[in-house]
A and B are shown apart, each in its own frame.
Chain A
Amino acid sequence: MNCRQVDKYLYDYCDDILNPEQRAQIEEHLLNCPICRRIVDESLLESTILHEQWEIPALPDDFTDRVINQIACTAIQANSSTIYPHSQNHKKWSRRFISLAAMGAILLIMLYGPALLKNSGLIQIADQEPASLKTTRESIMAGKADQESLKAPAGAAGSEEIKQETANGANRQKDQEESPSSPAGEIKESYGTHSVTISNNDNSQAQDLNLMKAETAATPEAFPVQPVNLPASYVLLNKVDTAGSSTYTFGRSQSEEQIIINIAQLPLRQPVTSTYSRGYYIREEAAPAADKSEIQSGKGVTSPSEEQGTKDLGAQPQEQAKSKALPTTNTISYELEFNNQKFLLTISAKLPAEELSMISRDLQLSATK
């Protein structure tokens, strides 16, 4: 072993972690090399001093209690969503993430933008999707007799692919309204493998029912809960599962009365302790006098998705039940807890407020089989 190798293993030798063979080789070299001998001696002294335990002052006696208290305080702060030190880091990371996401988006646009522009049909569909979605929801919820013709662009094979990818659940899958080339009174829908053609006729309920069935057919997952305990006279007409919500339509056999119940799964914001509680209010709107049997699209009814977005869930319960006789559409919206999960229920029906209130009180949730 030479001086260079001794230097390599110098501190391992001083810390006594070399194997006996290596140790013997170093000691053999040290016998004949006073320079290395001196360096090793100095390093040995340094190692000895380094190994000597420093005097560490004791922590206060109540240190453990303080830690536990701080943990409890931090937990409370976290639950009440107040700012605590870690949130600053989260904010920093959020800003970084947004910057990165923006850069990524710009890159994607630069890479794929020209290709998208070449196929203007795709952009057209993407632009028109929200409008058609709104129309569909209104149509489903209001039960209007839609005489307008809806038709998919003929031969838009590329657009079908895009729609299949983006719809994912198919509740948004609707086509352009008033297409000049489409035959009146026909709806054509494409769901990849699912293709549904609905003949338009005077029975708007049948049309809406078919629309719902088409959507249900393409829904990948069943919703975890279902409404139970409705009056026996109501039978389930239809059920539509979408991502995070489910809409049930109940009707009476000898009547046109319908109850539409939308159940939306809410994010679990804090541990749920009670098992069944509710606070609700009634939204009451008069139906147009000119048409008592049907409600015009976009009037008189708010769709469940809109309800979910606009209602203040923590609002004080209010009941504005005023009229029994008028054929009005009332909407009750409230939260229910089931299996430690919160759900937002929105019940709409052309029923007197008191009756709707009674139905909502009896209504319960059960797990979907």
Chain B
Amino acid sequence: MIKLTGIKKSFGKQEVLKGIDLTVEQGDVVAILGPSGSGKTTLLRCINYLERPNDGEVAIHQFKVDCKRASKQDIHTLRQKTAMVFQNYNLFKHKTALENVMEGLVIVQKLPKQKARELAVQALEKVGLGNKLNEYPSRLSGGQQQRVGIARALALNPEIILFDEPTSALDPELVGEVLAVIRKIAGEGITMIIVTHEMAFARDVASHVVFMDDGVVVEEGPPHQLFGTPKEERTRQFLKRSIQEWSYSI
């Protein structure tokens, strides 16, 4: 179980997160929706301390970190329990797909090379890239690169995978393959938080949907409730706008 309590974060004078509470149960797939600038990505990055929260607490199972007192060791432990998939993939450009996935296993988890290789191959096969093991990222399409990114996260066997707008940088025709992979691993009971703009995907795959605006959680609940009968006016407005966008035809 992942529990965030009172997470606050400011950049200079601008308060981006104004005290966020969020609980994610084991096996949950949580989708975070919201307009740009609402703090979704910042919240995600606070969980693994890519941004240091100004206040609040991050807890993964029994392991609790008070953001005001987090030591280097605490942050290291948090990062080992989590994995992240980035909007821009952020693959290591000088390493092959296989090496990208093995890197964390060998360097951080200190597994023997042979074992790491086995796990990495398994993860890459799971995302459908068993035939691209030795390709460098520059020779892969955006969708394939993002799938390597997912395999890199998956192989670490983390408590939770954090997806930061995993399809936003992709060409429309490549979005499907990445969503299909995320859907597949969601079906295997891996806990994940997904910041996304893909409404239909969130509705289908998420077990819990959170709507954020202006640094606060406006509303949360199961997808049928949040999409079907939203309680808050701001949620309704947002959904109306987003759903209108889909109905454009060219």
Same complex for A and B? Answer no
